[in-house]
Structure 1
């Protein structure tokens, strides 16, 4: 998209999903005029837009969730990276790279609140894969909730996804035995051969209990939950005393009218387990500290990534369904 363009495309949410695949009928693709800026405002041209499982919650009508739902008629919420193409804001200059909640839009007029300047020279795909929402979520959940210790065993579900792959690599770098749960043999090979996980479980083809017993003979100390489903019960039953469970996502349940039942709480008492759900809107103020925590791992070459890039803003709609099928190969994003 040309920086001097006088029109841009955005996608608004106009209906709530009711279970099942995400379809075009939920959205309205609109063409808008380039906005004029007042003092203290800037205009961002988005280059790459992140697709994340959290979006299913943002589209729901649940007003008691951790963040208000996207209002019908509003531009769909998402994080992204872009560059400043016009500025009347003293803290942002034309050419600055920024990331934040930019939304499903090619351009965004903003007062700068919630925007973070990108302070490294990594490509946009790398920044969005590592330093945006996935990396912040992984760092917060692993270190602040999981509280890992060298020598412990951690199981990560959704381990080939954008968050899970970073969690596993951080844990491995800190000396843990890392087991990842994935949905294909290709993903299992990637997390073990490329990312350095100690073992992988294909939940679609492996005997979950038997494979978990073989890979974690001393039990599980930390469980980083991204998916829900049968693996949740298998891992829960092998948790060690004083184990920690960080509940980040439950993608297996998002498309169901009635979610699956969770494990029985008797084990929580017997094993004195700590189970904590967390979401990043509670920690936006911590992002500078989280970036400072994560950056050394990246600079030391301990964090690898791969991006699954879709082309063009409208691709976001059907692209969300890749989370349900497991068809995404790496961090899912849209190039604008």
Structure 2
């Protein structure tokens, strides 16, 4: 079998929102490492998520930026080609971080075996880190139930879309916020939200207030300070807020986001900070709940797929610009 791989790496340090020209494709020699516990895997799909843009600038959770030529962050779903661990066999599907490559050896301890009777790409979206994030925020922090009305922004994205679908599957209702009529249509028609408000329209705040009157019980924040302020205004007394993402701030040069705390006090709101890494040990709980929903058609996601590794840079650029529709992926194999 060939040991030659293609890999996408940084062509130069990234100091602003990443663009396709920041990346280049190199060739690697993938010789088998010494010792046990290695897997040779062929990635099928690469996941691109909003945090990656900040991560490659060294602005995510204190992690250093990768240098040009080093492996890039991001999960993939891959097929095992060779195994030096008896717990894995050739043909198994795994999710792991392997860099943006078409062939690599990874430590078996970093790989999570996944079912092969579900479309491979879904292990990076509804069953992957974005789905786990939504589950953690909705069920473990906000503890949503049948009496809840959720507001969630970036609702056409995987985290927001799954958060609303979980709420609906638990008997509650969801109102989304997204950009543009195409994304809002997706949120209502495919994800089953009660409504979706286009924040690009002039009177979107009035539309949202009307859609959730007399108020939401949970607000799930994926964007940042400006939309959080609107979410707080439309929250019922004793409502819950999940702080998940800061998309509008990841590539801003200004200082940290600031939100007035007075309205939070007035609402008697409970505020939860969500870092998905805390829930990695509980991934099996989410997949046990979610896989039956996926198979029954009660949990779905749109996919925005680039074809081939050389499309990865352009796909990430589209994602950070908000031009993607659904989960952003690259089909590697």
TM-score by length of 1: 0.92
1:93 corresponding residue in structure 2: 89
2:80 corresponding residue in structure 1: 84
2:125 corresponding residue in structure 1: 129
State the superposition RMSD in angstroms.
1.9
Q: Distance in 1 between matches of 2:246 and 2:318?
A: 15
**1:179 matches 2:192:** no
Residues 221, 228 of structure 2: 8 Å contact kept: yes
SS at match of 1:135: helix
Name the CA shift for 1:117/1:21 in 2 (closer, same or farther; >3 Å): closer
Residues 50, 320 of structure 2: 8 Å contact kept: no
Name the CA shift for 1:120/1:244 in 2 (closer, same or farther; >3 Å): farther
2:321 corresponding residue in structure 1: 325
What pairs up with 1:58-69 in 2 under 5 angstroms?
Answer: 58-62=55-59, 65-66=60-61, 68-69=63-64
SS at match of 1:131: coil
Superposed CA deviations along residues 42-71 of structure 1, whole A, max 9, x for unmatched, are 101101000000102321324xx5362343
Superposed CA deviations along residues 121-164 of structure 1, whole A, max 9, x for unmatched, are 11212332321112111111211122212122111100001111
TM-score by length of 2: 0.92
Per-residue deviation, 1:225: 1.1
1:10 corresponding residue in structure 2: 7
SS at match of 1:296: helix
Q: Residue 198 of structure 2 is aligned with which of 183, 199, 202?
A: 202
Residues 305, 330 of structure 1: 8 Å contact kept: yes
Q: Residue 46 of structure 1 is aligned with which of 43, 50, 53?
A: 43
Name the CA shift for 1:313/1:209 in 2 (closer, same or farther; >3 Å): same
Q: Residue 289 of structure 2 is aligned with which of 287, 293, 313?
A: 293
Per-residue deviation, 1:206: 4.7
**1:246 matches 2:246:** no
Per-residue deviation, 1:239: 1.6
**1:316 matches 2:276:** no
Q: Distance in 2 between matches of 1:269 and 1:205?
A: 29
Q: Distance in 2 between matches of 1:326 and 1:218?
A: 30
SS at match of 2:98: coil
Q: Distance in 2 between matches of 1:58 and 1:261?
A: 18
SS at match of 1:320: helix
SS at match of 2:324: coil
Name the CA shift for 1:219/1:94 in 2 (closer, same or farther; >3 Å): same
Unaligned runs of 5+ residues in structure 1 are none
**1:108 matches 2:110:** no
Q: Which 10-residue stretch deviates more, 193-202 or 232-241?
A: 232-241
Number of residue equivalences: 330
SS at match of 2:253: coil
Unaligned runs of 5+ residues in structure 2 are none
SS at match of 1:113: helix
Superposed CA deviations along residues 82-110 of structure 1, whole A, max 9, x for unmatched, are 10001111111111111122221112212
Q: Distance in 1 between matches of 2:90 and 2:83?
A: 6
Per-residue deviation, 1:15: 4.5
Q: Which 10-residue stretch deviates more, 12-21 or 256-265?
A: 12-21
1:211 corresponding residue in structure 2: 207
